[in-house]
Amino acid sequence: MTPDDTRPPSRQKVLFLSFTYPTLGGSGSQLRAASLVRMLAAHAEVHLLIASWWEKVTGPRDPSIERLCQSIAYLRMPPIEPGKWPLPETKVEGVDLPTIDRGPTDSAVIIHRHYLKYRLDSLFVFRLDALQFVHTRLDFFPVRHLDLDELPSRSQAQIARLKRNFEPETPTRSQKTVQATTRLMEKTFISRFHRVFVASAVEAEEVRRQTGFQQPVVLPNVYPARLTPLEKRTAARSEILFVGSLFYYPNIDAVLYFCREILPLIQEKKGDGVLFRIVGMGSTDALDCVKDQRGVDLVGYQKDLAPLYTQATLVVVPLRAGAGTRLKILEAFVHERVVVSTSIGAEGLEVTDRKNILLADHPHAFAQACIEMIDQPKLAEKIAGEAARLHRERYSEEELLRCYAKIREDEPVGKPESRMSYARLLKQRLDQSRVQRPPPHNPHGSNAFSA
């Protein structure tokens, strides 16, 4: 698509830089990216650029999102071994897009050239995962926005704590390096954006506390409304549904926790009348240990989730780590299914226990909540109805559009805070540790983060 010089002066052009393909049928990150594209397209021309190391971006393809974009391209990083691309974490089909191979050029240079080619006005970076591809040239973009969704270092810390508590191995040197690198990136680069968005007030407070950036703005996670009426449940057994990306460690842990500590308690009361169904994109290898367990159905990836929600008695979110907000809960709300969750599983959502959700943090309490919803369908229906109402009022796409319109109207774009450059910060730390090493050449970043 060629650059357009005829746009009205008021219609801004935005480069949306993402590490993942935005789709309403994908993972939580893909769904938030898609929601942000739809939000931006209501006010501006959106040019989508995806940067990653896969041979192809992972779908499923979403024509409705692609139609909103004036241009779409995939900036492909070179594999570590020539010609050997890493295998994607999901088993979903790849999406063919116009591809730019990075080659030996700094990815930030290519992104800036792409920006100039279409004569764009602003850069919108989706998550820290995409920031790594452009951080060395941030100051080349006059208007810069960043959607963190969640604070990555906080999520990494929670996952590391969970592994320490329930797994014998200790964090490796590489894992510790990743965590330290993430914290350094957050403290160095977040303040160089004009606006920084997060998914909840909890995440906003963490950004202020951990990075010193004082003005994060909440853009809530949303889930699209159902376009068809709910069908009547016909399953003979009570079905408990879990939906989540199975390449994400907290989801794997949640499934194992439920199978080992909660499901047996439910079966003590309900016998074989209960089926636990596990659905999600990604390899199911980590869950092989429970696939033959009595009352467990390891489904894996399903493109259409509506029939599964139709037959579900309730949806469970037994997470013990994570950050952001749980789109799987909003998805269940849309399908009017009662949700039983841990407190951390529902973190960031404005829910009320026993009004629009059931919260339980101990295996016995969690099992009892599930049994109660199975035994009292009228109460489950009432709670699910309140949950659907909460979605319409606080977590619909219309609410996201209203929220963003108010931000644009009420909050003027300010200058990024003055902050020590990454190169100077690295040099200072090296000097403190008495390691003599020349500073990075690039004044805006370090090759340590260059894609």
φ, ψ (nearest 5 deg) of residue 25? -110, 15
d(CA 248, CA 240): 20
Q: Which residue has the higher pLDDT, 229 or 368?
A: 368
Q: Is residue 154 domain-shared with residue 259, that is, in the same domain?
A: no
Beta strand 144-149 with 122-126 is parallel
In a domain, 327, yes or no: yes
In a domain, 5, yes or no: no
Q: Is residue 253 domain-shared with residue 338, that is, in the same domain?
A: yes
Q: Which residue has the higher pLDDT, 233 or 46?
A: 46
Burial of 363 (0-12, 13-18, 19+ CB in 10 A): middle
Q: Report pLDDT digits (tens) over 156-183.
A: 999 888 888 777 666 666 777 888 999 9
In a domain, 66, yes or no: yes
In a domain, 153, yes or no: yes
The whole-number pLDDT of residue 219 equals: 96
Q: Is residue 194 domain-shared with residue 254, that is, in the same domain?
A: no
Mean pLDDT throughout 349-355? 97
The whole-number pLDDT of residue 82 equals: 75
Mean pLDDT throughout 52-63? 92
Q: Is residue 248 domain-shared with residue 153, that is, in the same domain?
A: no
6 pLDDT higher than 60: no
State yes or no: cis peptide before 443, omega within 30 of 0. no
d(CA 277, CA 287): 12
By the 8 A CB rule, do 86 and 79 touch? yes
In a domain, 229, yes or no: no
Q: Report pLDDT digits (tens) over 293-311.
A: 999 999 999 989 999 999 9
The whole-number pLDDT of residue 169 equals: 63
**Lowest mean pLDDT: which of 208-217, 267-276, 417-426?**
417-426
In a domain, 232, yes or no: no
Q: Which of 199, 175, 295 is nearest to 242 (CA)?
A: 295
By the 8 A CB rule, do 376 and 354 touch? no
- Tell me how many domains the chain contains: 2
Q: Is residue 68 domain-shared with residue 162, that is, in the same domain?
A: yes
The whole-number pLDDT of residue 235 equals: 85
**In the β-sheet with 238-243, what is the strand arrangement from edge to edge?**
296-300, 274-279, 238-243, 314-317, 339-341, 358-359
The whole-number pLDDT of residue 290 equals: 94
Task: Quote the domain boundaries for residue 275.
Answer: 238-395
The whole-number pLDDT of residue 5 equals: 42
In a domain, 352, yes or no: yes
Q: Which residue has the higher pLDDT, 74 or 439?
A: 74
In a domain, 325, yes or no: yes
CATH of the domain at 159: 3.40.50
How many CB atoms are located within 10 Å of the residue 396 CB? Answer: 19
Q: Is residue 315 domain-shared with residue 353, that is, in the same domain?
A: yes
The reported pTM is 0.86
Mean of the per-residue pLDDT values of the chain: 87
Q: Which residues have a Cβ under 8 Å from the Cβ of 128 and sit 6 or more positions away? A: 148, 152, 182, 185, 186
CATH of the domain at 249: 3.40.50.2000
Q: Is residue 203 domain-shared with residue 161, that is, in the same domain?
A: yes
Q: Which of 393, 404, 385 is nearest to 333 (CA)?
A: 385
Q: Look up tokens 């079905």; give the residue.
A: 239
d(CA 448, CA 451): 9
Q: Which residues have a Cβ under 8 Å from the Cβ of 333 and sit 6 or more positions away? A: 223, 339, 356, 384, 387, 388, 390, 391, 395
The whole-number pLDDT of residue 201 equals: 94
